[in-house]
Amino acid sequence: MGRGSTLNISLTPKLKKYIERRVKSGAYSSASELVRQSLMFMEKQEKADAKYWAEVRKKVAEAEKEIADGAGIPGEVAWSEIQKFMDEREHSRARRRRAG
């Protein structure tokens, strides 16, 4: 990879030692390589996070529209169904424990 521009940064002693250890171990050929790789990973993670939150916002908007259109389930009914599911799951686990 060609040489890019230079940027001087300050690191805590702990981070400096970490970089030195990783370069010395052979995992990276230089501190610059480690920083570049770290920044590329960070950028990739930020893009994945943005995609995730865009999907969450989309699903919330869809749910809000369903509720506005009257397709929602009243809270008491939803809670009752959740509680029933949890009770059935716990009974099933208890039966397996007794059988096993």
Torsion of CA 62, 70, 85, 54, to 10 degrees: 10
pLDDT tens across 55-84, in order?
Answer: 999 999 999 999 999 888 888 999 999 999
CB 15 within 8 A of CB 23: no
pTM of the model: 0.62
- DSSP classification of residue 26: T
The arithmetic mean of pLDDT across residues 10-29, rounded, is 98
What pLDDT is attached to residue 2? 59
**Which has the closest alpha carbon to 18: 29, 41, 7, 34?**
34
What pLDDT is attached to residue 1? 53
pLDDT of 37 higher than 90: yes
What pLDDT is attached to residue 72? 84
Query: H-type helices in the chain, by residue range?
Result: 13-24, 31-68, 75-99
What pLDDT is attached to residue 4? 78
Largest CA distance in the chain: 67
